Each structure stands twice: as C-alpha cells, then as structure tokens.
C-alpha cells in the first residue's frame, strides 16, 4: 500500500500491524530517531487543525525528519497550478505528503500524481488517522476488545464512517445512532460492512441512541456542526441532534465499565454534557495524546520499504 486515504484501504493484517507499531511508539516515542534521516514531510492543510497538525509534525520530528506545513495561500495552487503538477513537484522534494482537504476527489488526485505516500489528514468523507487512534485507545483499555461493542451517537460524518471501518477491521461490533437528516455515508458504511463480514463483527445503523449504547463498552460522539457544514444549517442541526446528546443518563445505559470518547474539539452542552466529558469515564485526552504515536506508525509503515531500499 502506497497511500492511506481511507481506513478501508487497510486489511485486517495492515490494521493489526499499525496497532503494534502505535503501541511501540506510545511506549517509546524515540524508538526510531533517525528513521527519516533528515527527510522532509510536507503537510498541506486547507482547514484548521490542532491535534492532527501538531501530532503529525511531532511524529515527523520524532522519526528524525523535518515537517514543512503549507497552507493553500503558500502554494501555487492558489494561482491556478494543477493538483497533479503540485503533487509531482512536491514528490521530488519530500518523503511524504500529509493533506487535509474538503474534497476526497482532490485528495485522490494528489495521490494519483504523487510518487511518495499521501496520507489523509481529514477530508469531508474520512478521517483515518483519527480512527486508528480511537481503536488503539480502546485496545489499551480493554484487553479483550474484539467482540466488544462501540456506540457512535450523533451526526453521521467522516469520523463516524472511519470509526465504523476501523471497528470492523478490529473485529469490534459498532452501532451508529444518527438522525434521518444526517446519516453516515452509505458507501462508507457498505465498505465497513464488507470488512465486518470477513472479520466476524457487525455494523448496525439505528435512529435510537438508547438502542445503540445498550451493551456498549464505549460511547463516542462528535460536534454537531463540523468543518465544511454550511453555517446556515446550524439551527436545524441542533434541533435534529438534540436527542443525541451524550449525557450521564445515556452513559448509564451502556456497560458499567463503558468509557466516553470524542475526537475533539468539543462543545459542552451540545453534543456532550460537561459532567460526561470531564468525568471519570472520559478518556478523550488520552485519546488525543495517542494521535502522535498513531501518526508515527503510519509514517513508518508507509515509508519503511522505500527508505530501507535507499540504504
């Protein structure tokens, strides 16, 4: 595999290897301090980022490389240069491209033209780096993770789709509770279901949050208005998603040992109440910290064959 554009690009064996590598880097972030050997990694972000940008930059440095963060205004893309030309040129300078863009189609064009690995740092359709982090975090908490159940409650967005695919790759059951107005992408869920059929897990979609969290070991939610959602939809989205707020009453319907996850940033009082996200069952900051070793794992996995060949 050259690129990581969606979580479904991975096989169960790929996913297990990334979990192993993430555990290695979580235990010792400086395990491979000269792996990139002063190589450069370009980070092209067309949307704001805190966790993804900083964790990926830190991962590059930990591996002995130098990150170069480029906004759209700093590239000739803003003056009409094609994505393909930009990808080919950058490939001659850097070891990998990490891209955050609204468009999955644009990301695919970058990957098609680039001769170095391209990593999806979030698009409107997918967030694979987040999903790797999520399942790694749950694996730290539950040694018997395969066969357990994750509940996702809220809008059916990119995080929900990638989470479903990662759960399926891990042999974990997942139930997604979303309103009719904001369902998860059908194609993304079909991909998760196909993976689940091979791993023996299940992917369930429902409108009922209580049904989704019943028997769950983890309850996950995300913001009601994501980057890229039209601001004029805010009132409608809040009305439709209000029944999907994660509060202590909903958490009590899950297993007693259930934990709460959120990819952040969070809006207390909207998708989650303060007593849940700041309470003892919340693991959101552990989850956020794991973004760095997950990024190290992906960079190492995608680049090791090329860089080992260089030596």
Query: For the chain, first and last CA: distance in Å?
Result: 20
- Rounded Cα–Cα distance for residues 116 and 92 (Å): 9
Any idea which residues carry the catalytic annotation?
Answer: 100, 127, 130, 222, 263, 291
- Rounded Cα–Cα distance for residues 57 and 104 (Å): 22
> Between the CA atoms of 267, 270, 275 and 279, what dihedral angle is there, to the nearest 10 degrees?
-50
CA-to-CA dists, residue 206 to 43, 95, 152, 169, 254, angstroms: 37, 42, 10, 21, 16
% helix, strand, coil for the chain, step of 5: 50, 15, 35
Q: Can you list the alpha helix ranges (DSSP code H) found in 35-150?
A: 51-62, 83-91, 104-113, 128-141
C-alpha neighbours within 13 Å on the C-beta side of residue 44 = 26
- Rounded Cα–Cα distance for residues 251 and 217 (Å): 10
Q: Can you list the alpha helix ranges (DSSP code H) found in the chain?
A: 12-27, 51-62, 83-91, 104-113, 128-141, 158-169, 186-199, 209-213, 234-241, 248-251, 274-277, 284-289, 291-310
Provide the token pair at 51.
Answer: 């966790």
- Rounded Cα–Cα distance for residues 182 and 271 (Å): 14
Beta bridge partners of 246: 272
- Rounded Cα–Cα distance for residues 103 and 90 (Å): 19
């Amino acid at each position: 595999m050259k690129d990581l554009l969606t979580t479904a690009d991975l096989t169960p064996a790929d996913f297990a290897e990334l979990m192993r590598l993430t555990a290695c880097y979580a235990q010792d972030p400086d395990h491979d301090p000269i792996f990139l050997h002063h190589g450069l990694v370009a980070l092209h972000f067309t949307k704001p980022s805190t966790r993804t940008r900083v964790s990926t930059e830190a991962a590059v440095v930990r591996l002995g490389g130098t990150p170069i963060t480029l906004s759209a205004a700093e590239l000739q893309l803003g003056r009409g240069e094609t994505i393909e030309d930009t990808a080919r040129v950058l490939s001659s300078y850097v070891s990998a491209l990490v891209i955050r863009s609204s468009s999955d189609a644009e990301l695919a064009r970058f990957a098609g033209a680039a001769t170095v690995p391209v990593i999806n740092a979030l698009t409107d359709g997918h967030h694979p780096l987040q999903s790797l982090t999520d399942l790694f975090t749950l694996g730290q908490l539950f040694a018997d993770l395969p066969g357990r159940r994750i509940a996702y409650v809220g809008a059916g967005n990119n995080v929900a789709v990638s989470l479903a695919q990662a759960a399926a790759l891990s042999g974990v059951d997942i139930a997604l509770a979303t309103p009719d107005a904001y369902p998860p992408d059908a194609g993304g869920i079909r991909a998760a279901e196909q993976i689940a059929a091979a791993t023996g897990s299940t992917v369930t979609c429902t409108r009922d949050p209580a049904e989704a969290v019943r028997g769950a070991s983890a309850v996950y939610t995300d913001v009601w208005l994501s980057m890229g959602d039209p601001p004029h939809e805010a009132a409608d989205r809040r009305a439709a998603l209000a029944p999907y707020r994660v509060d202590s009453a909903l958490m009590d319907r899950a297993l007693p040992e259930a934990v709460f996850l959120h990819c952040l940033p969070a809006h207390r009082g909207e998708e989650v109440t303060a007593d849940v996200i700041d309470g003892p069952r919340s693991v959101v900051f552990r989850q956020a910290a794991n973004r760095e070793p997950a990024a190290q794992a992906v960079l190492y996995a995608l680049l090791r064959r090329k860089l080992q060949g260089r030596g």
